[in-house]
Each structure stands twice: as C-alpha cells, then as structure tokens.
Amino acid sequence: MKLKVDLMTSFDVEEVYLIEEIIHPNHHWSKTSFYNELTNNLSRYWVLRNEDNKILAFIGIWLIFEEAHITTLGVHPDYRRLGYAQILLVKAIKECYKNMIKYITLEVRESNVPAISLYEKFLFESIGVRKNYYQDNGENALIMFTQNIWYDTFKNNFNNIENNIKKAEVFYDE
C-alpha cells in the first residue's frame, strides 16, 4: 500500500474529526479546535493518506522556541499496529530538526500502554504525572520528554527508525 504524508488543510478537518470522534467518543477535540490549530503559526499538522486519499492517521505539534509539544496523534482503529503513528512521528521529528528544536514533549494517558511503548521506542521518557489531566474520566497523564534530539543517542535511534520506514512506500510532502 502506498502512503502519503501531507500537511493538514481545512479540507481535511471533517475526516480528521470523524477519526477523533471514534478514538475518543467521550471527550475529543472539536472541529473548531482543529481549524484554529491550522491558523496558528506555532502549529504543524499532518495527515497520513492511503492511495485512495483516505486519511488513516494524523499528528499535530507546536513549535515553541527550542521545544516542540506533540498536541495530538490519532490513528483510525482499523489501521492500528501497522506503523502509521511511527511514520507520523518521523515526520514531526524531521520538522523539529528543520526548525532547530532541541526537546520534544507530550502527555499520554497512563493506561495507554501501546502509545507509551511507541514513544519509548523514540526515546521519550516519563518525567512526571499530571494528576486528573483527562476531563472525561479524571485519568492521569504521563509527561514524556526527549533528551536533546541533537545528541548522538537520539539521532542514531531516530535514523534507524527512519531508515526502516524508508523501506516502505511512504511519500512525504517536503
């Protein structure tokens, strides 16, 4: 299957919102939130499409000085465990390098073991907990952070992951 990573546009919001509703039925981003993010100069959002132009996954980051914050990452449930979140993380990290970012942070539900494992593969580490962070059920969020992404340990790990993805048919908007 050929995959393509594109910048998210306002035309993509409806389809992204439908995925968001499926992923988080009790508490999800609004369409307005996505539209606002697309007009924010600090934000970068991408979608992963298949050859039929269907959106399978999406990611968003904020770029603030030397730090990036992953705001959202979602994969349609029918397409999980296929490496699609990993493809989008590679795109986001490449954008961080392009913008001279040093550190990347995010919050993730304590119970979301698959996501935590993915982030740990990219050398994110848990550095704390935000108590009662999620409004739908009061679940805590782990605060995860990278070391400086310019350090050899991070760069070598990232390059290995990226090289494995390059073996698949993935096309990035450059």
Active site residues: 107, 119
DSSP structure class, residue 33: H
What span, in angstroms and rounded, lies between the C-alpha atoms of 121 and 114? 11
Per DSSP, helices labelled H in the chain are 13-23, 31-38, 84-98, 113-121, 152-166
What span, in angstroms and rounded, lies between the C-alpha atoms of 6 and 60? 12
Report the alpha-carbon angle 99-33-121, nearest 5: 50
R_g of the chain computed on alpha carbons: 15
Chain centre distance of CA 78 = 17
What span, in angstroms and rounded, lies between the C-alpha atoms of 129 and 140? 7
Length of the chain: 174
Identify whether the C-beta of residue 154 lies closer than 8 Å to the C-beta of residue 146.
yes
